[in-house]
A and B are shown apart, each in its own frame.
Chain A
Amino acid sequence: MAFETAPDIEAQEHWAKRGDIDLYIFRKFSPSAQAANPGRPALMLVHGSSFSARTAYDLEAQEFGEYSLMNVFASLGYDVWTMDHEGYGKSSRTDGFSYIRDGVADLEAALPVIEKISGHKSACFFGSSSGALRAGAFANANPQRVDKLVLAALVWTGEGSPSLIKRAERIDEWKASNRRTVDEAAYEGIFSRDVTGLTIPELPKLAAAAEMANGGGSVPNGTYIDMCINLPAVDPTKIECPVLIFRGDHDGIATDEDVLGFYSALPNKDKQIIMMSGQAHNTTIGINRHRFWHVLHDFLTLPARIDQ
């Protein structure tokens, strides 16, 4: 996929409200790319446990190449959205844990805002790690809002998951406080826990700086707790739309069998599972992220059936 960042990407900030909680929504799009690719859908990017939205999907690291997934897909003509969930980034800091079910409620608050601004009643959803669980659980509860669902770094039951076995050793710590610190050392651990060499060495520092700038330095513990003791969080039999599961070869968040079990249970036969070498847990900011872009773009542009 030949890729060049569009010169006219526009960025917008919006806000949604869930009870007393202010939720930060961020949008990027390119008028020229949209004009060149009419009909491209809205793409909602759902962040995971340890990064706020723009650290995960709009990372500025131009000296190392394009690291903003939002820039990439805006340049391809998509109307790209993301949001900070409760307790992350620029959204309200509460005394809550921001569990997966809270993430669903956050998305339910954000979609009417997106609809009002853009006219999109529904979107294609991408989520990574616990972002995939948020997006999947949202699709369970709100099928009319989800045109296509892309789940990266997915875990279903968690059975046999190396990362979650390790994480569960600290379950008392995750439950004792609603937040944990994320800094350069924490990100170094995340990027190296599966394997080293599939992210640039500078990434922990870049991510930590971005997370601080985006309003952070700490993140809620709810999704960590959910992934240790409350899986499964998503019911594959209740997902109605086409699904792509993207799995990095070295991702310890789930076993192959667990992810294949989820895939097998999906009732909609418009489904793909793609495993890729040279990828670990954080596929969107790995050194081979361009291969992920290729797969995501091609799933989103799959021609419609002509027999329905």
Chain B
Amino acid sequence: MANFREKDYWADNEGVKLFLFRKRLDDDRKRPIFFLVHGSSFSGPGGFDLHVPGKPDYSLMEKFAGYGFDVWTMDHDGYGRSDRTDGNSAVMNAVPELEAAMKIVEAETGQPSAAFYGSSSGALRAAVYAEAHPGRVTKLILDAFVYTGKNAPTLIERAKKLDQWTSSNTRKIDRDFVHSIFTRDKPGTSEDGVADALANYELALGDTVPTGTYADMCQKLPLCDPKKIKCPVQIIRGEHDGVATEEDLLNYYNALEVRDKQFIIIPGQAHVSYLGVNRARFWHVVRSFLEMPERVDDSGL
């Protein structure tokens, strides 16, 4: 089993302390940066560096560190170890937060840009960051993404509680809620023990998360403009993911002006693909995209 080197960092976004976490193989080689952006309901290390007792290979950070990437994630305002302000951590708040994080990444690694992966509202965060800072984002992977939200079963359900999401900047989470994330689309797409391991991690750090991304996904979509993306894009969709319709995502894909773009549906996967039963298929397509050989021409075509 590979040995990993991990380290905590802290970024500052106008006085808000933001937790960063890094994992890579235990050597001094310079490696390509892969930055993971979390979604609405759990933190970066909680979701991306999860360890499930008795079940191997749940840490996405370790998997891609093992492939040779220098893997980073962060907790956005109000999540995990980061400061918990009275803000609601809306999607657009992630832009200055990710920029604060990338300044740390650049200072530590000498690399000013990274491949970005985001899941669910993490995909929205990553996409708006790529729009605002195209020089920072070499490749963009949007998983469990939603564009306009039209006819999305999950968002239709979520919008029924819009008053709750807008009347407070935080919402309570508990063990049952964490379980519901893995069962709401299709029970059986994740293993027993995963939800509990995630709940154990998150609830030890707090029992609230901000409501900003929930409110955004119910009333402010589209937040992303595909025409402003300048790097190669991979869109990944779990077959059973209710956060968007296939049609909605294909409209986003079709509107992307970049010509290196992929749209991949993975059967047997629901909303949280990297913690699903078939996550090996998810790793495979992500790695393939990240390791795409370079073009040999400079024709500009």
User: Is B260 part of the contact surface with A, judged by Cβ < 8 Å?
Assistant: yes
Question: Is residue B188 within 8 Å, beta carbon to beta carbon, of the partner chain?
Answer: yes
With A305-B278, A306-B280 as given contacts, are A277 and B259 in contact (CB-CB < 8 Å)?
yes
Query: Given A195-B301, A306-B277, is A295 in contact with B296 using a C-beta cutoff of 8 Å?
Result: no
B259 touching A275 by the CB < 8 A rule?
yes
Is A94 located at the chain interface by the 8 A CB criterion? no
Contact B297 A287 (CB under 8 A): yes
Q: Is the CB of B278 within 8 A of A307?
A: yes
**What are 10 A-to-B residue pairs whose CB atoms are below 8 Å?**
A198-B297, A198-B301, A274-B262, A275-B260, A294-B292, A298-B288, A302-B281, A306-B277, A306-B280, A307-B278
**Which B residues lie within 8 Å of A198 (CB)?**
297, 299, 301
Flag whether B92 is at the interface (Cβ < 8 A).
no
Among B250, B261, B285, B295, contact of A291 (Cβ-Cβ < 8 Å): B295
- In the complex, whether B225 has a CB less than 8 A from a CB of chain A is no
- A290-B293 in contact given A298-B285, A303-B281, A303-B284 (Cβ < 8 Å): yes
A195 to B188, CA, bound (A): 49
- Cα(A198)–Cα(B300), bound, Å: 10
Residues of chain A with a CB closer than 8 A to B284's CB: 298, 301-303
Q: Which of A195, A249, A269, A302 has the most CB of B within 10 A?
A: A269
**What's the nearest-Cβ distance from chain A to residue B286, in Å?**
11
B134 to chain A, nearest CB (A): 16
Kindly count the residue-residue contacts between A and B in the assembled complex, taking CB atoms under 8 Å apart.
Answer: 99
A288 to B188, CA, bound (A): 41
Please encode chain B, from 263 to 301, with 1 for each CB lying within 8 Å of some chain A CB and 0 for all others: 111111000000001101100110010011101110101
In the assembled complex, the CB of B198 is this many whole angstroms from the nearest CB of chain A, namely 20
**Chain A positions within 8 Å of B266 at CB level:** 269-270
User: When chains A and B are docked, how far (Å) is the Cα of A45 from the Cα of B284?
Assistant: 24
Q: Does chain B have a CB within 8 A of A67?
A: no
Complex CA distance for A153 and B259, rounded to whole angstroms? 15
B229-257 at interface with A (beta carbon < 8 Å): 239, 246-247, 250, 253-254
A257-B278 in contact (CB<8A) = no
B189 located at the interface, meaning its Cβ lies under 8 Å from any Cβ of chain A in the complex: yes
Closest A residue to B277 by beta carbon equals A307
Which residues of A are at the interface with B, using a C-beta cutoff of 8 A?
A: 1, 195, 197-198, 249-250, 256-257, 260, 263-264, 268-278, 287-288, 290-291, 294-295, 298, 301-303, 305-308
Which one of B263, B281, B295, B297 contacts A263 once the chains associate, using CB atoms below 8 Å?
B263
A54 to B288, CA, bound (A): 28
**Smallest Cβ distance from A241 to chain B, in angstroms?**
12
Q: Which residues of A contact B253 (CB under 8 A)?
A: 260, 273
The answer to whether A277 touches B281 (Cβ under 8 A) is no
Q: How far is the CB of A36 from chain B (nearest CB, A)?
A: 19
Asked if residues A308 and B295 are in contact (CB atoms below 8 Å), the reply is no
The answer to whether B268 touches A307, judged by C-beta atoms less than 8 angstroms apart, is yes
- Do the beta carbons of A288 and B288 come within 8 Å of each other? no
Q: Is the CB of A273 within 8 A of B262?
A: yes
Identify which of residues 22-38 in chain B touch chain A, using a CB-to-CB cut-off of 8 Å. none
Chain A proximity mask over B119-147: 1 for CB below 8 Å, otherwise 0: 00000000000000000000000000000
